[in-house]
Amino acid sequence: MKKPWELSRRTFLRGAGTLLGLPVLEAMVPSIARAQASGALPPRRMMAFYVPNGMYPPEWYPTNTGADYTLSPLLSPLAAFKSDMLVLSGLGNKPSHYSSNVDVGHVASTATFLTAVPAGDAPVRNGISLDQFAANQLKAHTRFPSLELGTRGGTSDVLHNNISWTANGTPMPKETRPDHLFDRLFEGMDPNQSAQEAEARRRRRLSVLDSAREDTTRLQSKLGQQDRLRMEEYLTGVRELEVRLQQTRPSQCSPGARPSEPTDVRQQVRLLLDVMVLAFQCDLTRVATFMYGEAVDDSSYNFLSIPDGRGGSIPISQGHHTLSHDISAGSQSQRMYSAICKWEVEQFAYLLSKMKAVQEPDGTLLDNSVVLFGSNIGEAQVHDTLNMPVVLAGRGGGKVRPGRHILYKNPNDLTPGVPVARLFLSMLQAVGVTATSFGSDGTAPLLELT
């Protein structure tokens, strides 16, 4: 009997100095099955999405629990994903309170957001973060151990500006430019490509798809109908993303300098998330973090507004951090603050929509992931790090049972909540990382997730 044609999971499309990863296809199932037989899990991904300055508590926490819980106003943008996520109330990061020489409010809780150990300044010290702990074990499967993305770069004020940390307490630099991230993933991967060849391709403005056209045609001729459809969907997504990235570049005839960072944060966020999802889809990495803003973020949101009560609207005129400390119920500043919080949740909803749209042989990309969304503090006005707003999306390939609100402790009670480090331990185990503890107080997995 003729052996069915199959495709290695590590296959790439090649051409003109580029290597383009492929989505998970049915033709790869035999090679994936052999890997599983040897003890390897199919691709499982982990991602953490950080936002600063907390969430307005009365509009964040659902009033009831279980599968029939009612989405709160700030969670309403996630209505389409209610069955794909868990709302986890009463989790806290107590170790951030023991950070030395660091503001225990915004700064310490940001630096320890994914480490759950006390941080220090002068000299800077911290523990390993959730993502880097996972990357150390999962990096053997992918070209990139992890991706660290954010809307702000820079190396100063490292405790303000970083959530990803190595085992020796070194912050991982963030990529803030979506076009640079795309180039890094798809243009700079071929070890045989010289710097001159890479620059020549950029100057010709060749699509990575055009560069690999011959290899793509050859591969598609061997695929079955379902795989061809999946490939077409994937390649269309790559092409659309390239077009959107090209639109951020200077409109001029000569190549000119490389483009600057997008001036509109809305465009920046979504393009970064698009490229990150593509990296997951291609199995270029299985670990990523996205840091929106920084610890004491006072960004303006003049593209948002609130109703003025007379049929008009009032633009948001103050910074995010400033508004977070003036939240008298029903006041104009509170309503502006809540509008910013809701916009942040909408960006997370966008990410989930992109992940859920990616089909894999054993579910969707979202099904095969665990995706954390949260802020370093609960109520910003009192710098509450003991009741963090947390959502966990995805099923972790069957290790997590979403669709519920789980209350571990009343978030109105300002006493230490259940350690968020226990959630981190559960996330690690869900993606196949060997761990029996994490951080200072993650001594056991979080109950009720399965």
pLDDT tens by residue, 54-80: 999 999 999 999 999 999 999 999 999
- Spatial neighbors of 414 by CB under 8 A, at least 6 apart, are 382, 384, 386, 387
Q: Are residues 354 and 432 in the same domain?
A: yes
Q: Are residues 231 and 322 in the same domain?
A: no
> Do 417 and 96 contact (CB within 8 A), yes or no?
no
Amino acid at position 194, single letter: S
Helix axes 265-281, 332-356, angle to 10 degrees: 30
pLDDT average, residue stretch 13-19: 52
pLDDT average, residue stretch 15-26: 60
Instruction: Read off the pLDDT band of 389 (50, 70, 90).
Output: very high
Range of the domain at 208: 1-40+179-260
What's the total number of domains in the chain?
Answer: 2
- The CATH number given to whatever domain includes residue 450 is 3.40.720
Q: Which residue has the higher pLDDT, 118 or 31?
A: 118
Question: What letters, b where the CB count within 10 A reaches 16 and e where it falls short, cover 436-445?
Answer: eebbbbbeeb
> Do 387 and 92 contact (CB within 8 A), yes or no?
yes
Alpha-carbon span 270 to 266, nearest angstrom: 6
> Is residue 285 predicted with pLDDT exceeding 80?
yes
- Strand-pair partners of 148: 289
Q: Are residues 162 and 299 in the same domain?
A: yes
Amino acid at position 413, single letter: D
Give Cα separations from 261 to 147, 180, 200, 245 (angstroms): 18, 9, 22, 11
Q: What is the pLDDT of residue 209?
A: 59
Q: Are residues 124 and 189 in the same domain?
A: no
> Is residue 190 predicted with pLDDT exceeding 50?
no
Query: Residue 2 corresponds to which tokens in the numbers above?
Result: 């003729």
Q: What is the pLDDT of residue 189?
A: 45
Q: Are residues 229 and 346 in the same domain?
A: no
Q: Are residues 33 and 68 in the same domain?
A: no
Q: Are residues 26 and 55 in the same domain?
A: no
DSSP letter string over 231-254?
HHHHHHHHHHHHHHHHTTS---SS
Q: What is the pLDDT of residue 74?
A: 98
Q: Is 278 exposed, middle or buried (0-12, 13-18, 19+ CB in 10 A)?
A: buried
Alpha-carbon span 321 to 298, nearest angstrom: 5
**Ordered alpha helix ranges (H), 139-224:** 158-161, 178-186, 195-204, 208-211, 213-220
Q: What is the three-class DSSP state of 79?
A: helix
Q: What is the pLDDT of residue 260?
A: 43
Q: Are residues 192 and 130 in the same domain?
A: no
Q: Are residues 73 and 172 in the same domain?
A: yes
The closest alpha carbon to 161, from 124, 216, 135, belongs to 124
% of the chain residues with pLDDT over 70 = 77
Instruction: Read off the pLDDT band of 384 (50, 70, 90).
Output: confident
- Spatial neighbors of 309 by CB under 8 A, at least 6 apart, are none
Query: Residue 18 corresponds to which tokens in the numbers above?
Result: 């580029």
Q: Are residues 291 and 343 in the same domain?
A: yes
Instruction: Read off the pLDDT band of 114 (50, 70, 90).
Output: very high
pLDDT average, residue stretch 265-270: 94
Alpha-carbon span 290 to 298, nearest angstrom: 18
Q: Are residues 396 and 250 in the same domain?
A: no
Q: What is the three-class DSSP state of 288?
A: strand
Q: Which residue has the tokens 């630096």?
A: 111
Q: Are residues 122 and 153 in the same domain?
A: yes
